[in-house]
Chain A
Amino acid sequence: MAKIPTIVERRLRAATKEAVHPDAGALTEFLERSLGEGERSQVLEHLAHCADCREIVLLALPEAALETEVRPGFSKRWLSWPTLRWAAAAACLLLVGGAIVGRHARHEKLEVATFTAAPQEPDGQLASKTIHAGPNAATLDKIEAQPSPTSQGNLEANGPALSKAPRVNSGTAGGMLAAMNSYKNENAPTTALPSHDAKLPASSEAVEVAEAPAPAAPGANAAAGAGIVTGGVQSRMETPPATNETVEVTAETPVIQAESAQMARGKAKDSNIDLDNKKEELPFQGRNFTQLAGLAPAGLWRLSDSGTVERSIDGGKTWQVIPVAGHVVFRAISISRSEVWVGGAGGALYHSGDDGQSWVQVKLSKDGVPLGADITTLEFKDADHGRLTTIDRQVWTTIDGGVSWQKQ
């Protein structure tokens, strides 16, 4: 990063004004990008001079925003020196290999020409010796005498090497592409959500919940870990049921009768694809699984005022209603990676393990008595540890990702 002259740093530091600090509301709106252009400029003008307010803004920024703001499709590791070094080496090998193959092909053409130019016996019959023994000796000598960039020995050595030379798009990343494809088959597609009619309310009053885990959860790293964590969670979801299923879960018995994880839309047609043939169609060829996992559009979730579940994949500019259960008014939502839990009136609890593609209703009951109170809070610190509370102050917790729940 280019450095600024020290005098600039000093003058920036010196240019501090005693000004009226923006109130909490203005700073919140600044962070949530809901200020008008003029107001935003004013807040920025103040922040440019006020270290305290800059500190406040940073502390008020949800931890998730530090991750989800990183636009998918770009990973710093792609530009790191080790990766670049190997990519450069692979490119060089490719060039060299291409040059050698090209020359080899030219040599073969020359040899064929020599065959056809072989002298005939005076009686017009081709000497069998000439035909079967190869090119005319004199011509062959001429060929061999010509300087060749690679000797025959080298050609032979390079031949097998060429065939083994890693191709950038499928060699070095071949195993990873297979893993990527496997990931695509087993998980939600990384493409955009199915389009819904934009049933946006006139206002956007709702609690917005970022997709990454709650701030207290340490070590969250959406870009690098999303795919791996998701894969781990998904491993529990083995059977591909229909889009919506009802699961009865009692408080103490750690059994879920059926789990979700609807498969990717493209699974059936993608399962047998030939990687080499399909690589041109893959939008992100050459990237590894972790990088591709980070390419999924980061989403924001919220509950609207009327209790519907909504999601935005463009940073909050537009919102789509996610159909979960049409009759239920939801009041609580918790997101952990692609695990989404929503709870609402009458003890309604729904879970999606694939970023909202499909939902499973989870019915909690204890001693045969189902949970009927409104769920008012839901919190999952990570994919496994969750907690919900109800309007009548019941507290239920899970430590296994919702497979079993215990009433506290």
Chain B
Amino acid sequence: MANRGVQSDGASLLSDSTVNELYEKSGGASIGLGCAEFADILQEIAAKYLARNAKEDEVRAFCATLRVEELALARACAAGGERAWEIFLTRYREKLYDIGTYIAKESSAGRELADSIYADLYGTTLRDGQRVSKLASYTGRGSLEGWLRTVMAQEHVNRYRRTRRLTSLDEETEEGVQFAAENPQPVVAADSRLEASTDEVLAGVSAEDRFVLAAYYLDGRRLAEIAGMLGVHESTVSRKLDKLAKLLRKQILAKLVQKGMSRRQAEEALQADVRDLRLKVRETLTQETAPATFSRQVMEEHVGEGSKERLGAPGVMKDALSPAAKEIRNPEV
């Protein structure tokens, strides 16, 4: 195997011996990937994740964690290698269909999803005369199968968003959606100290805890799902949520008292927000007559929680209603 030599664009992060060792391990020769190309790939990945002045040992240790065999396969496929594609299809074709079915919860939609991914993986689009394959972005840090899952999940979520955006109002009417009237202004103005205190307390909570709170309370995920995402036991998530609920309440109360409220006032503010009561009543009423997601959209807009309001229904994407649609929908206009 020829020595690679130093790259022309500057000092290489990898020594020849490291490259050769990894190249042999990757089996790149048998799938049409040359050593030089493989070295460039490693260089690119190491440069992406490591500091410029990373030491040889650090680079070697980092590269040792890469899944070089899968990396070589993916990049050989991205380069259009036939042999590589044969192996890829043999290994992953059925898996992709299965993953698609699991994600789309239905086999024909799953197959369609898998087929659309194939086009992206193969690289049907050209840029500057070069094929653009999604496989070129695989870095070998995670498993190729896991990466394919994530890519398919991303595609599915993007498709869902596009589909929601294109849903017509006529279809909504046919489904029996009723358009809620505009919310009247709340009688009592919300205390800004409550929001500020809550924001301060949330800022002090760790990212993992906020993720758990968001997944459970905003997305409505099950404990098992959250546990699976974090790689912990279900009971760990359950205990964490209990602990967080108590801690948040305690800390918000303390903040409110610091900001000048009496203890009683703070407890009242935390327990009974007038808007909350209004929302609850409206929610109850609208759920009886209309799909929750659409009605809640209208509700949330009028509550005015901010420009980046997210819908509370699980799995529902960002509000994609166009301004024109909003105007038509609001009977008051």
Contact = CB atoms under 8 A, between A and B. Distances in A.
Interface string B189-207: 0000011001101100001
Contacts of A7: 194-195, 198, 252, 270, 273, 276
A74 B237 CA distance: 14
B331 interface: no
A89 interface: no
Interface in B136-170: 137-147, 149-154, 156-157, 161
Nearest to A381: B98
A29 B25 contact: no
A210 to B, nearest CB: 10
Contacts of A54: 211, 214-215, 219, 221
Contacts of A389: 90, 94
Interface stretch (A61-69, A112-120, A137-145, A252-260): A61-69
Contacts of A16: 306, 308-310
Interface residues of A, number: 73
A260 to B, nearest CB: 26
Interface centre among B142, B207, B231, B309 (most CB of A within 10 A): B142
Contact of A60 (B64, B101, B149): B149
Contacts of A305: 25, 68-69
B66 interface: yes
Interface string B49-86: 00000000000000011111111000000000000000
Contacts, number: 244
B213 interface: yes
Contact of B99 (A17, A31, A215, A391): A215
B207 A48 contact: yes
Contacts of A377: 90-91, 94-95
B270 A69 contact: no
B4 interface: no
B151 A24 contact: yes
A204 B139 CA distance: 14
A315 interface: yes
Interface stretch (A39-47, A128-136, A226-234, A400-408): A39-47
B154 A24 contact: yes
Nearest to A28: B142
Contact of B142 (A8, A29, A76): A29
B231 to A, nearest CB: 5
9 contacts: A4-B249, A5-B249, A8-B201, A24-B137, A48-B207, A203-B25, A204-B65, A205-B71, A216-B107
Interface of B: 25-26, 64-71, 87, 90-91, 94-95, 97-99, 101-103, 107, 137-147, 149-154, 156-157, 161, 194-195, 198-199, 201-202, 207-208, 210-211, 213-215, 217-219, 221, 224-225, 227-229, 231-235, 238, 241-242, 244-246, 248-249, 252, 270-271, 273, 276, 305-306, 308-310, 312, 315, 317-318
